[in-house]
Copies of this chain bind each other. A is one copy, B any other.
Amino acid sequence: MNKATSGIALASALAPLTRVVPLYPPWGAEEDGYDLWLRYRLLPEPARSRLGDGARSIAVAPDASLTTLAAVAELHRAIAGRTGVPPALVQEPAEGALVLATPASHPEITALEPALAGLGREGYALRTATVGGKRVTVIAANTDVGVLYGAFAWIRAVGTGRDVSTLAEHSAPRVGLRMMNHWDNLDRTIERGYAGESIWDWWKLPGMKDARYADYARATASIGINAVSLNNVNAKAEMLTPPWIAKAAAVADILRPYGIRVFLAVRFSTPVELGDVDTADPLDPRVAAWWKDRAAAIYRSIPDLLGFIIKANSEGQPGPHDYGRDHAQGANMLAAALAPHGGLVMWRAFVYSQHDPEDRAKQAYADFKPLDGKFLPNVIVQVKNGPIDFQPREPFHPMLGAMPATPLALEVQITKEYLGFATHLAYLGDMYEEVLRADTHAKGPGSTVAKVVDGTLHGAKLTAMAAVSNVGSSRTWCGSHFDQANWYVYGRLAWDPYASARDIAEEWARQTFSHDAKVVDAIVGMMMRSREAVVRYMMPLGLHHLFDTGHHHGPGPWVDDLDRPEWNPTYYHRGDKDGIGFDRGPRGSNAVAQYAPALAEVYSDPRRTPANLLLWFHHLPWTHAMPSGRTLWEELVAAYDLGVADAAELQASWTRLAGAIDARRHAEVAMLLAVQLEEARWWRDACIAYFRSINGLPMPAGHAPPPLGLDEYKARRSHYAPGRGITLPR
State the main secondary structure of chain A at its contact with B.
loop
Minimum CB–CB distance for A527 against chain B, Å: 20
**Roughly how many angstroms separate A13 CA and B64 CA in the complex, as a whole number?**
10
Closest to A2 in B: B90
- Among A207-215, A287-295, A355-363, A579-587, the one that faces the other chain is A207-215
Q: Which A residues from 236 to 286 make CB contacts under 8 A with B?
A: 238, 253-254, 256-257
Interface: A89 (CB within 8 A): yes
In the bound complex, what is the Cα–Cα distance between A49 and B21 (angstroms)? 32
Alpha-carbon separation in the docked complex, A335 to B419 (Å): 45
A473: interface (CB < 8 Å): yes
Q: Are B238 and A719 in contact (CB under 8 A)?
A: yes
Query: Distance (Å) between the CB of A420 and the closest chain B CB?
Result: 12
| Residue interface bits A675-701, CB-to-B below 8 A is 1, else 0 | 100100000000000000000000000
- CB contacts (< 8 Å) of A253 on chain B: these are 20
List, in ascending order, chain B residues with CB within 8 A of A10's CB.
76, 86, 89
Asked if A22 lies at the interface with its beta carbon under 8 angstroms from chain B, I say yes
Is residue A368 within 8 Å, beta carbon to beta carbon, of the partner chain? no
Contact B473 A21 (CB under 8 A): no
Could you give, for residues 702-730 of chain A, a 1 whenever the CB lies within 8 Å of some chain B CB and a 0 otherwise?
A: 00000000000000010111101011111
A550 in contact (CB, < 8 A): yes
**B672 engages A207 (CB within 8 Å):** yes
Say yes or no: is A72 at the interface (Cβ < 8 Å to chain B): yes
Contacts of A238 in B (CB 8 A): 719-720
Assuming A28-B77, A72-B14, A728-B726, is B23 touching A214 (CB within 8 A)? Answer: yes
Return chain B residues, CB-CB under 8 Å to A719: 186, 238, 730
Cβ–Cβ contact B22 & A89, under 8 A? no
Residue of B nearest to A722 (CB): B203
Are the CB atoms of B728 and A70 closer together than 8 Å? Answer: no
A196 in the interface (beta carbon within 8 A):
yes
Q: Is the CB of B188 within 8 A of A27?
A: no
Is A303 part of the binding interface, using a Cβ–Cβ cutoff of 8 Å? no
Contact of A211 among B16, B185, B668, B724 (CB under 8 A): B668
A300 interface contact, C-beta 8 A:
no
Given A69-B14, A88-B3, A211-B664, A473 and B722 contact (CB-CB distance below 8 Å): no
A538 to chain B, nearest CB (A): 18
Q: Within 8 Å CB of A81, what residues of B? A: 28
Do B73 and A14 touch (CB < 8 A)?
Answer: yes
| Smallest Cβ-Cβ distance to A24: which chain B residue | B211
Question: How many copies of this chain does the complex contain?
Answer: 2
Given contacts A30-B211, A88-B4, A473-B473, contact A70 B21 (CB under 8 A): yes
A53 lies within 8 A of chain B by Cβ: no
Question: CA of A724 to CA of B187 in the docked complex: distance in angstroms?
Answer: 10
Residues of B within 8 A of A30 (CB): 211
From 16 to 67 in chain A, residues with beta carbon under 8 angstroms from any chain B beta carbon are: 16-17, 20-24, 26-28, 30, 32, 40, 60, 62, 66
How many Å from the CB of A570 to the closest CB on chain B?
22
Any B CB within 8 A of the CB of A366: no
Q: Determine whether A296 belongs to the interface, using a CB cutoff of 8 Å to chain B.
A: no
Task: Determine if B22 and A76 form an interchain contact, defined as CB atoms under 8 angstroms apart.
Answer: no
Is the beta-carbon distance between B722 and A187 smaller than 8 angstroms? yes
Chain B residue with the shortest CB-CB distance to A20 = B253
In the complex, whether A217 has a CB less than 8 A from a CB of chain B is: yes
| Pairwise interchain contact A197-B726, C-beta atoms closer than 8 A | no
Given the contacts A4-B88, A5-B88, A671-B208, A27 and B720 also touching, CB distance less than 8 Å: no
Is A339 part of the binding interface, using a Cβ–Cβ cutoff of 8 Å?
Answer: no
Closest B residue, CB atoms, query A421: B203
Contact of A457 with B by CB under 8 A: no
Is A9's CB within 8 Å of the partner chain B?
Answer: yes
Pair A675/B187 contact, Cβ less than 8 Å: no
What are 10 of the A-B contact pairs (CB < 8 Å)? A4-B86, A5-B87, A5-B88, A5-B89, A16-B66, A21-B257, A32-B211, A203-B722, A207-B671, A207-B674
Q: A207-B678, A724-B728 are known contacts; what are 16 more A-B pairs with Cβ within 8 Å?
A: A1-B62, A2-B88, A10-B86, A14-B73, A21-B66, A22-B254, A27-B80, A27-B86, A187-B720, A203-B421, A204-B672, A208-B423, A208-B675, A209-B671, A473-B474, A550-B730
- Give the interface of A toward B (CB within 8 A): 1-5, 7, 9-10, 13-14, 16-17, 20-24, 26-28, 30, 32, 40, 60, 62, 66, 69-70, 72-73, 76-77, 80-81, 86-91, 185-189, 196-197, 202-204, 207-214, 217, 238, 253-254, 256-257, 421, 423, 473-475, 550, 664, 668, 671-672, 674-675, 678, 717, 719-722, 724, 726-730
